[in-house]
Each structure stands twice: as C-alpha cells, then as structure tokens.
Structure 1
Amino acid sequence: MHTQTRDITGMAAAEAADGHIAPIETRPVATDPLRVDIFDSMAPLELEWRALERDDLNSLHQSYDWCAAWVENFERPLAIIRGSIGDHVAFILPLEIIRSRGTRRAEFIGGHHNNINTGLFSARFLANGELTPVQLDTISAALRSKVDVAILRNVPLEWRGRKSPLASLTSIENQNHAFQMPFLGSFEASLKQVNAKRRRKKFKHQSRLLDARGGYEYVIADPDQQDALLDLFFRQKAARFKDAGLPDAFNDVRIKAALHAMLRRQEGDVPNATLQMHALRLKGEHEGHIPAIAALSRKGDHVICQFASIDEALVAEASPGELLFWLMIERLHRESVALFDFGIGDQIYKRSWCPMETVQYDLFLPVSGMGRLAAVTQQSITRTKVAIKSNRKLYSFVQRLRARHGAGATSDDGGGDAD
C-alpha cells in the first residue's frame, strides 16, 4: 500500500463545536520586544498554561496534565519557557533538564514517550510566523545559566495546516515518522483509503473465529478498571519485548507511575482524555481473558493511540490487536473525531491502516559552546539512526544488543520503543 509522506498540510483541523480550534488572528502581536521568563515549577503557570492548551492544535503532550504526571514522578529540574510580549502570553515551552555526559539538555517534558510536540502558542503570536533570530537570541540568553542546549524532538514543522513558529530553529528529520488515518465522514469512506473490501472480509473472519469460541466484547475501562488494565498491559508488553529479544521500554517504575497518574486526569465537560484504556475481552470458554489492549488519548478531534499490546496465547489466529483497532476506529467515527493517530514508529500494522505518514523533526538551540558541540553530535547520532533503521538486518542486530544490555540505560533519557 502506498503511504503519503507529508506533514498533514493538506488536512486542516475540523472546526470544533466548542470553538477550541483557535483561528490565527490577522493582527499580529504588538512589536514590543519578547520577554522570556524561565520557571522551575509548573504551578505558577497553570492558569496561563491551561488557557493556551484550549487550542486543540497545541499538542496534548504539552498539556498541563500530561506534563504534570511526568514531572511528579521523574522529579527532574525544569526550565519552562514563557514568552510574553507586553501583557500578552505568547507561548509556553514545557522543558525539563536532562544531564548526560557532562551536558545539560532542555527537552520537552515526557521525552521519547511523546508522539508529537508543538509547544503552546497563542493565536495572536502565530500571526507573526516563525520565531525571529532576535527572539531566539532572547530565549538563548534566558536559558544560559541553566542549560547548554535545547533539543526539541518530534516536532512537525507544519501540523494540519498550521506552520510551527519553531521552524526557524536548526532542524534535522527525526528517524521516526508518525502514521495517521484521517476520517472522511463515514466509516465506509475512511475504510476505502485502506482497501475496504479486504478490511471487511478480515473483520468478518475474525468475528466468526471468536464467536465460535463464545464471542467477545469491546471494553472501555471504567474509572475503577483503568489501573488494572494498565498493569495487564505492562505484563503483556514485557512478555512481548522478551520474546522479541528487545528492551522493555516501560521497565521503569517512574514511567509506570506517570502513566497511572494520567488515568486520573480526565476532563469532565468534554470527551478529551489524557489517557484511557480500551480492550478486547473474550466470552464463553475463555470468559474474561483479554487478548488485546490499547491506550488512547484525545484532544479535540485528534485521537492518539499511545501504546498497545496483545496476548497471543489463546486466539492468535483471530488477530485480536487488529480487531480492537477496527472496533475503536468504528466507534470513534460516531464521536466527531477527524484523525486517528497511530503515533511514531514504522510498523507493518500501522502502514496497513494509515494513508498518511507525517515527518517530524528534531530542533536545536545551542546556548553554550558545549551545547553547540552537543547539537552537532546529536544531529550525527540521528543521521546514524536513520541509516540503521533503513537497513532492517542492521536494525535487528542493534535491537538485540540493546536487549542484551537492558533498557535501564535508556530510561534516564526518557527511553521509548520507537528509538
């Protein structure tokens, strides 16, 4: 299947009924100089932060609740950037400080567990376009006593028709792309993007297989079921990583605690969810067995599958993971969703569902001489990763080496399974 590689420039966001897609104002922010303040805690910014995140094109991964869950459990020092022009809050960049090999890096809170990063920008500031060289110098000067370099990973330079103000930073294509399925009004229309006839035939076959074993049900976990389902995911995923000879990207108590905390950060007045557990559960002879789990996040009309797992011990022939994606996507068509995002990482099942592939970039703002060296080094590392991932045999060998040495070394850098 052909997959389009693009930054979703041709797919603008659907206008939300509650007006949470902020139109870019034609009147730019006043020409007053940019003032930059650096905060080492989140609380003083909460009201301004939540006001900016109401714009649904500002990524969920920079939302207050998503960031708070990581901050509370990793307890890394913070360097949260607030940019203001006059009395107007222009943007917030939620960064944490990671010390590695003698260098202090400022990166987005959540690190490699984020599927897309945009920062938080006001509609008025977006009218100005990209950050100017003078504004970048102002940010760099404010960071100088705290970090050596800011590395902003997994940023699309254009997202759903909106150009990123961060595009003026030095950039390199990230080794991982993201994969999406746009919803085209009806479920049937969306399926036609990915061979509707084959998909329907497979769904009927899967259903017949499971019906012969007593049936199944699609479960959206209630609040009192969410934690148990997430713990089951951790066990399933650990077993899958072990069988594949790969490091367990979730083998860190801080990561597990942060994800559990997100389950308790639901918005009551809208269908948005920081993290919500979904599953396929068997009936009949294997009553209660769960062969497939997925965790979804939602912001506005954009749903992201953050992670998923399968247990092939009983009904592997029915491809339970594929069936769960069908059920989730079918249901979300009835709930004003416009884009289902499978997240970063190139996997066969994602390509089978997704006609869109989004290129993301790593952006660099050196602050010190050591930071400039670190930026050059990181760009070289990324180029090497791109080369390795383009060679499947070499990539498999590297993954086996990582598994042999364990995943613990990656956790301090936010480690993820899409590296």
Structure 2
Amino acid sequence: MAPSRLVPRIVVDASEATTLWNAFAGELLAGAAQTAHWFSCWQSSANSDCLVAALLMDGAPVLLLPLEVERRGSLRIACYVGGPHANCNFPALLPTLSITQDDLNGLFQALHRARPDIDIVTLSRQLPELAGAANPLMQLQHRTNPNISLAIRLDGSFETVLNRHNSKRKMKKHRHVVRRYDDAGGFKIVTAASAAESRNMLDDYFAWKSDRLARAGITNTYEPKGVKEFFHHLFADETNAASPRFQLRALEVKGKYRAVLGKSHAKGMTFIDFVGIADDELVSTSPGEFLFYKDIEESCGADLAIYSFGIGDEPYKRSWSEIETPTYDNDISLTAKGRLFSLYLGARGSVVRRIKQNEKVWAMVKTARAKLRGQS
C-alpha cells in the first residue's frame, strides 16, 4: 500500500492552532464551532485542555478537528470544543481535496500516541454535508443522533418563503403583535454593535434561560465555570468585524429586551444557536417567534441560501421549515475502556432516539422531568 500523502499532526498551542486555520491554501469550509475564534475563546475561558488533530499535505492543513478533553469518572473523553454548545458540527477542511478512511485512521492513531490518556473520541451532532461538501468523518462507523436540524430555503424573497408556510396566518399574527408592541411603547430590532450591547443581551438571555431550565428540570449547561465568559468573549470580539461569523440580535420593546437570539454563519448559511425570551407582561405575544419573523425577513435580503434553526425539533421551527437534516455521531475508541463506553453510548442513543420519535412518550418524559426535578 502506498503511504498516505496526508500527514497527521496534534497541536495544543492556541496560537499555533490559529496559524493552522489561517494557513489553509484554499477556501476553508467549517462549522461555526470548528473555527479558530471559537477554539481560542473556549480554550482560554472554559477548558484549557484543548487540541487540534490536523491532517497536513506538504505542511499545509487540509483538515482540522478541534477537540477538548473532559474527565468523567475514570474516563477521559475527547469531543468537539464547546461540548453541548457545539451544534451542527462539521470539521474544518478543504472541500476540494479527498480525505480517505485510511487518512482518518492514521489521524486517530497519531492522537492516541500523543495523548494515550484519552479513552474515546465522541463527535456528536454532525452535519452529513455542508455547502454541498460531504463530511469525511461519515466514512467511519457512525450512528444517527436523536436530534435533527430544521431549516428554510430563503430563495432571496421573503414573500416566497412566507407563501410556502401559511403566509396569511403568519402575517395576521405579525400585524396583531405589532399593534401590541406599538401600544406598549414601540419596538425595534437591535443587532449588538458593541461589547457593552453584547454583554447586556447575553446577561438577559442567561437569566431568562436559567429560570426556564430550572422550571423544566433541565440541567443548565451555561453554569459550568467559564462558559458564560466564553460566550461574552465570542460575541463581543465579533461586534467590530466587517463580516461577523457570530452575532446577537434582540427584540426591544419600550427600552427593554424581550427576546434575544444568537446566530452563527457558515458558507451560504446562517444558524440559530440559541434563543431566549423574557417571562414578563408581553410573553403572550411570543416575542421569540416575532424576532424570528423579522430575522428571516432580513436574511432573505442577504447573500444566504439556507436559514437553519439548528439542533432540535420544536413546533415554531416546524411552522417555518421544509428541510429536515439528520445529524450523526462518531465514537472512535482508543482504549479498552473507550470501547466499553462506546457500547453504552450506542445503546443510550438508540433509546433516546426512540423516545423522541414518539410524540406522546416524549411529552410524558418532559412533564415528568419538570415535576420531579423542576422548580415552581
């Protein structure tokens, strides 16, 4: 067998990793959470034990896999940097260059040599393709994630988008809510244009989200040390960028934020990473849905083909979307302990997927969770 033309390399230094991202010889394609800015912000704020598993050709990168290492009991697990906050994942790569299964196997063998303490690499919530390019990791054994991604084709016209999705009902509701906001003192849609605006939007979002998760009995993934700081850095640093990859937008009514959404951008696509709403006197107007309406309308005038609601299946997403994309997980075991944990992950994923596919059972699970773990 001829030797691979791609050489693996494991990088732990943040500045060296950034240099690799900047050294792509052609057009870079990557998920938003697989970019240099996301990597450096997370490594400096939330988890210093991060690395990049890279494939190089003639010293230039063709694939970058940014990973963080977490400890769970006696296990050390490598996953996409950002953990549960990294969604619609897609490795940074040159889409014009072929990467084989042997190349990938060599990359994980190199990772095991460099970090023999890592038991397993778990790569979750991955897109099978991005901007027409296939995810090379799908060549490895993989399973379907319980969560899907829902999206809209923008087609350059908001009227066209509306006509595909119950336009009369949406426009009637929109006019009604506009009247409510006008009566309340007027509204505007605000895009964070400074670090101060970014911090204020995020602080409100974190407070709203904490309250809602507590009432639903769901673990708050923003509470671990450094996570909120990470998001503050991530979005504040982008407010001065000519073409920001990460962006915050808010619905403001009578001088107060009533809904906040966080967005990220990849080639020809925009992704909604999170949304939160204030539980106040205007909550009955569905401020989050109103903000989506205005954001989709504006996105139709941008150079975008796809508007993705990201991971998760919710009625408000279904009311807009016509594209349903499954996401996938890879488990690459590096030790015997990792192989045992991989079996557990596969079995757990199968159970969760069956539960979420049954609307009645999933509704019962959410209700029981709120009663048992939630706060009144």
The TM-score with structure 1 as length reference comes to: 0.81
For 2:111, the aligned partner's letter is L
State whether residues 193 and 239 of structure 2, in contact with CA within 8 Å, keep that contact through their aligned partners in structure 1: no
Question: Are 2:224 and 1:256 equivalent residues in the alignment?
Answer: no
Alignment-derived partner of residue 14 in structure 1: none
- Alpha-carbon contact 1:236-1:311 (below 8 Å) kept: yes
Identity of aligned residues (%): 26
Alpha-carbon displacement from aligned partner over 1:366-403 (angstroms, at most 9, x marks no partner): 22222222212111111122123232244215633884
**How many residue pairs align between the two structures?**
367
Paired residue for 2:209?
A: 237
Deviation, structure 1 residue 113: 0.5
Q: Which amino acid aligns with 1:166?
A: L
Q: CA deviation at 1:147?
A: 1.5
Which structure: greater strand fraction?
Answer: 2
Distance, in Å, in 2 between the alignment partners of 1:50 and 1:402 is: 49
Aligned-CA RMSD value: 2.4
Question: Is the CA contact (8 Å cut-off) linking 2:124 and 2:330 kept in structure 1?
Answer: yes
C-alpha spacing 1:313/1:401, structure 2 compared with 1 (3 Å): closer
Residue 265 of structure 1 pairs with residue 234 of structure 2: no
Deviation at 1:50, TM superposition (A): 2.8
Is 1:131–1:166's contact at 8 Å kept on the other side of the alignment? Answer: no
From 249, 269, 272, the counterpart of 1:302: 269
Unaligned stretches of 5+ residues in structure 2 = none
| Aligned: 1:63 with 2:30 | no
Q: Which runs of structure 2 are paired with 1:158-169 in the superposition (5 Å)?
A: 158-169=129-140
Amino acid at match of 1:60: A
Quote the residue 1:176 is aligned against: 147
Relative to structure 1, the CA distance from residue 88 to residue 252 in structure 2 (aligned partners, 3 Å threshold; closer, same or farther) is closer
Partner of 1:194: 165
Structure 2 Cα separation of the partners of residues 361 and 393 of structure 1: 24
Which of 118, 131, 134 does residue 100 from structure 2 map onto?
A: 131
**1:226-375 correspondence to structure 2 within 5 Å:** 226-266=198-238, 270-274=242-246, 276-282=247-253, 287-375=254-342
Tell me whether 237-246 or 107-116 shows the greater mean CA deviation.
237-246
Aligned to 1:354, the other structure's residue is in SS state coil
Q: 2: distance between equivalents of 1:89 and 1:248?
A: 36
Quick one: which amino acid aligns to residue 39 of structure 1?
A: V
Give the direction of change, closer, same or farther, for the CA distance of 1:51–1:342 in structure 2 (3 Å limit): farther
Cα deviation digits, residues 300-327 of structure 1 (max 9, x gap): 4321111111123112332211111111
**Partner letter of residue 340 of structure 1?**
Y
> Are 1:79 and 1:146, in contact at CA under 8 Å, matched by a contact in 2?
no
8 Å contact 1:50–1:63 — kept in the other structure? Answer: no
- Most deviating of 140-149 and 219-228: 140-149
Kept after mapping to 2: 8 A contact 1:115/1:178: no
**Mapped partners of 1:320, 1:32: distance in 2:** 54
Paired letter, 1:131: T
Match of 1:117 among 89, 92, 99: 89
In 1, the alpha carbon distance for the partners of 2:371 and 2:344 equals 22
- Which of 60, 63, 68 does residue 96 from structure 1 map onto? 68
Gaps of 5+ in 1: 1-29, 406-419
What displacement does 1:269 show?
5.9
